């Protein structure tokens, strides 16, 4: 079958004349710009790569010099690299597109955006019972404007934040759930004045943190929660990374494919973000081992 298709492509290409290019229309059917790379092999055998930025909803037509025995590769990714799609087109398929007036259309489903959106929608479902609400919370440094407890007080206007911007100093916040807990979903409402890109790492421990001498509000950290997490590495039962470009009050969320079981302590570390980054609210969905 491959040989028959190759012969058909050869005949179609021959009908176009020696060295005559074919047009490959590429269309971005997403709501954000894409970086598109097209790789084709000329009749001489050398490989040509072209990369361009294709705005949302726009279409571009590229000229290809095809070989019947070589595929053309179209690769597209979002500018942040979060979504990626690769498609290989035979010479026959390129010619057929050109004859029919069709396009290489790249949409949300091709890039995996729809599947990701379904997962995110599940993680953002309201958490009816926040397992972290009112539980004891600590942090290795605290801005006087907000205590660690403010991130679990169910008050949307209160917040906790550290003193120094990450990543120069990585501040961490932790909550003690008081008993073994299965975490199915996690939501973090981000507080910021000058907002932007934020990266958080969430570590789940199966035991409480030891008693620490932590810095007073307004004083740079003296004891690091991350140091304690390293010492308790055998107690780590899971980790998540949350990241994105956010505005104040936006939510970073996750719903692990497999719930994280036997969690006693949750540690949130601010790995990157603006200097005023903090936490308005931390919500955990799931169940306690005791059922209460």
Instruction: Encode pLDDT of 74-105 as tens digits.
Output: 999 988 777 889 988 887 787 777 777 788 89
**Quick one: pLDDT at residue 3?**
44
In the chain, the domains with their CATH numbers are 2-111 (2.60.40), 121-288 (2.60.120.260)
Give pLDDT, residue 8. Answer: 47
Is the pLDDT reported for residue 244 higher than 80? yes
Bridge partners, 241 (sequence order) = 201
Residue 219's Cβ-side half-sphere holds a number of Cα atoms within 13 Å equal to: 8
Residue 191 near residue 159 (C-beta atoms within 8 A)? yes
CA neighbor of 161 nearest in space, from 152, 169, 151: 151
Q: What value does the mean pLDDT of the chain take?
A: 85
What are 167-213's pLDDT values in tens digits? 777 889 999 999 999 999 999 999 988 888 999 999 999 999 998 88
Number of Cβ atoms within 10 Å of the Cβ of 243: 16
**HSE, side-chain direction, 13 A CA sphere, residue 190:** 28
What is the pTM assigned to this prediction?
Answer: 0.62
């Amino acid at each position: 079958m491959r040989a028959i298709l190759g012969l058909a492509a050869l005949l179609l290409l021959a009908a176009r004349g020696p060295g005559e290019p074919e047009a490959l229309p590429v269309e971005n059917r997403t709501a954000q710009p894409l970086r598109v790379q097209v790789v084709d092999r000329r009749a001489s055998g050398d490989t040509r790569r072209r990369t361009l930025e294709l705005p949302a909803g726009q279409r571009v037509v590229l000229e290809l010099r095809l070989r019947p025995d070589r595929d053309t590769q179209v690769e597209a990714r979002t500018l942040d690299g979060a979504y990626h799609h690769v498609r290989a087109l035979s010479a026959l398929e390129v010619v057929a597109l050109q004859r029919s007036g069709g396009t290489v259309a790249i949409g949300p489903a091709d890039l995996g955006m729809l599947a990701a959106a379904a997962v995110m929608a599940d993680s953002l479902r309201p958490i009816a019972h926040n397992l972290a609400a009112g539980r004891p919370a600590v942090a290795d440094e605290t801005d006087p404007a907000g205590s660690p407890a403010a991130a679990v007080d169910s008050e949307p206007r209160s917040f906790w934040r550290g003193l120094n911007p990450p990543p120069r100093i990585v501040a961490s916040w932790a909550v003690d759930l008081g008993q073994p807990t299965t975490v199915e979903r996690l939501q973090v409402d981000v507080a910021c004045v000058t907002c932007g890109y934020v990266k958080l790492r969430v570590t789940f421990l199966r035991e409480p943190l030891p008693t620490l001498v932590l810095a007073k509000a307004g004083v740079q950290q003296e004891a690091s929660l991350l140091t304690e997490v390293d010492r308790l590495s055998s107690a780590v039962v899971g980790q998540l990374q949350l990241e994105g470009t956010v505005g104040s009050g936006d939510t970073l969320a996750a719903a692990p494919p497999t719930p994280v079981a036997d969690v006693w302590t949750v540690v949130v570390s601010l790995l990157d973000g603006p200097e005023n980054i903090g936490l308005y609210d931390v919500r955990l969905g799931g169940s306690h081992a005791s059922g209460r």
